[in-house]
Amino acid sequence: MERRKKVAFVCVHNSCRSQIAEALGRRYAHDRYEFLSAGTEIAGRINPDAVRLMKSIYGIDMEAAQRPKKLDDLPPIDILITMGCNVACPNLPCGHREDWGLEDPTGRGDEAFLAVIGQIERKIKSLDL
């Protein structure tokens, strides 16, 4: 069996967008890729609004399967996807890098979260790296 490529979703705090991407990646493309996430700094926990909405929409309990992680926690990766940090995004050795340029919905209403979750789901479903 061919080794699955390791995909790391990275943003600053590893508490919202990158966690959502890791969870949806595992849901929709776990047979092709191994999904991870990390941040340059980490929050104490995954964003509660993201946790609530992912449970409500997909039945995914991110707190049960995931935790905020720092870049140092990542193994060597094949693909780096940054979320659109609006700061200097980290650069890790990898074979492919892209930025998804997603707005951080933290501190905004459910509408903002739902828009970002929808964007991430569409991008995950179209991954072909």
pLDDT in tens, 79-123: 999 998 655 566 688 899 999 999 999 999 999 999 999 999 999
3-class secondary structure, 72: helix
Query: Residue 22 CB: number of other CB atoms within 10 A?
Result: 24
Q: What residues have CB less than 8 Å from 54, skipping those under 6 apart?
A: 20, 23, 60, 61, 62, 117
* CA 29/CA 72 separation, integer angstroms: 24
Superfamily of domain 5-125: Response regulator (3.40.50.2300)
- The rounded mean pLDDT for the chain is 91
Report d(CA 108, CA 127) in Å as an integer.
28
Confidence of residue 128 (pLDDT cuts 50, 70, 90): confident
Residue 14's closest CA among 56, 74, 92?
74
Query: Catalytic positions, please?
Result: 11, 85, 89
For residue 76, pLDDT beyond 70? yes
Q: Where are the domains of the chain?
A: 5-125
